[in-house]
Amino acid sequence: MELKTEIYLGDSRDELARIPTDSVDLIFTSPPYADQRKSTYGGVSVDDYVEWFLPITKELLRVLKPSGTFILNIKEKVVNGERSTYVMELILEMKKQGWLWTEEFIWHKKNCFPGKWSNRFRDAWERLLQFNKTKTFNMYQDAVRVPVGDWAKNRLKNLSDTDKIRDNAKNGSGFGKNVSNWIGRETVYPTNVLHLSTECNNKNHSAAFPEGLPEWFIKLFSVEGDTILDPFMGSGTTNIVAQRLNRHSIGIEILPEYYEMVRRIVEPVQLTLFDLKNENYDSFDERRYAVR
């Protein structure tokens, strides 16, 4: 298998037309937030944001496979002491386009920005909105199981009486649990809250999000050989992680500096891969890191 990482220089509003209909398994992106990153992206104003974004989401709806998923990392900024509503307006408009809004994950930023204001605390979370084309999307939950917490070690040593039987919830929801089912389990399924730090290593570029973020969603919503798309590539985090996880990927970036930077990272790997066609791919990871 040859792993393809295609990157395009240009505006997503134009470049997305080059991608075939129903061809992408997962879209993971973090668009420039309204009025942020002005120095690099020029900044889309809060008032124009929805109108600016909707033509892109329309194209994304076209290129996504019916079984695919669109994860949108976004957060509304504070304007005049109030949270803006452009994210809500965007969701409402995307539903009109035909998107299903299926879930909202929370990224808890463990090391959020410091600061002190009289009327608000530090902002330590961002939204990861999940949209789908159909209700029967692919989800590979076992790929993101996490080690069972320490609570289990203590809890399971001495099971209480209620732990040994099914203990139904008090609120009549019909939910219940039988804690003894956990005996022997090493891993559990995660929740819809992700605890990740923003990256702060010594790279010479600033990633908007840590690699762990796209990694989690790529594992959850795709398998090896699938195609991942990031229409706001930036420093290429999504594509680099996709490549490491043996997924094809497509990236679109409007700024030449970022485009060139990602190209220098991504191309050597593809050349290497081409030469390695018949070799064992287990060694791929180390090779990639060596190149980078």
Residue of 184, 175, 180, 188 whose CA lies nearest to 162: 180
**b/e code 132-151 from CB counts within 10 Å (16+ = b):** bbeeebbbeeeebeeeeeee
Backbone angles phi, psi at 252, to 5 degrees: -125, 130
Please tell me whether residue 171 binds DNA under the rule CB under 7 A: yes
Please tell me whether residue 77 binds a copy of itself under the rule CB under 8 A: no
Beta carbon nearer to DNA, 149 or 225: 149
Beta carbon nearer to a copy of itself, 99 or 284: 99
Q: In the stretch 28-57, what mask flags binding to DNA with x, by CB under 7 A? A: --xxxx--xx--------------------
Angle at alpha carbon of residue 186, lines to 183 and 188, rounded to 5°: 95
Q: Is 81 left (phi over 0), alpha (psi -120 to 50) or beta?
A: left
Please tell me whether residue 193 binds a copy of itself under the rule CB under 8 A: yes
Cα 217 to Cα 139: distance, rounded to the nearest angstrom: 10
Please tell me whether residue 184 binds DNA under the rule CB under 7 A: no
Which of DNA, a copy of itself, none binds 172 (CB below 5-8 Å, type-dependent)? a copy of itself
Q: What's the min distance (Å) between Cβ of 57 and DNA?
A: 15
Cα 56 to Cα 272: distance, rounded to the nearest angstrom: 34
Judged by CB under 7 A, the stretch of 49-57, 110-118, 250-258, 266-274 that binds DNA is 110-118
Please tell me whether residue 117 binds DNA under the rule CB under 7 A: yes
Beta carbon nearer to DNA, 170 or 277: 170
Please tell me whether residue 171 binds a copy of itself under the rule CB under 8 A: yes
Cα 258 to Cα 235: distance, rounded to the nearest angstrom: 6
Contact between 84 and 34 under an 8 Å Cβ cutoff? The reply is yes
Q: Which residues lie near DNA (CB under 7 A)?
A: 30-33, 36-37, 73-75, 77-78, 80-81, 109-120, 122-123, 126, 146, 148-149, 151-152, 154-155, 157-158, 160-163, 166-167, 169-171, 173-178, 181-182, 185, 188-189, 197-202, 206-209, 232, 234
